[in-house]
Amino acid sequence: MATPIHLICYGITRDILGGPTRTLSVEDPATVGQVRSLLTTLYPQLGDLTSLRFAFNETYVSDGFELPSGAELVLIPPVSGG
């Protein structure tokens, strides 16, 4: 069964995905790793972001984290600054 995952994009991920938000339909139950894999297939430039992180409920989550249906997942790209 497919479930929607809502993506919130910051920084370069916003440019790559073409906007601040996107919704993906993924098989339930979905893990962050499955979402990452689908995203890099749809948007190959994301694969170049070696330190791309994901957050759920204001907490960083690993690829094995299982997302509930309708989850809001935040894409956090690498940052630099001084």
**Which tokens in the block code for residue 25?**
């339909």
For residue 54, CA distances in Å to 11, 12, 35, 76 come to 13, 14, 10, 6
CB 77 within 8 A of CB 49: yes
Report residue 79's pLDDT band, with 50, 70 and 90 as the boundaries.
confident
- For the segment 28-63, what is each residue's pLDDT rounded down to a tens digit? 889 999 999 999 999 999 999 989 999 999 999 999
The C-alpha angle 66, 60, 6, rounded to 5 degrees, equals 60
- Cis peptide leading into residue 29 (ω within 30°): yes
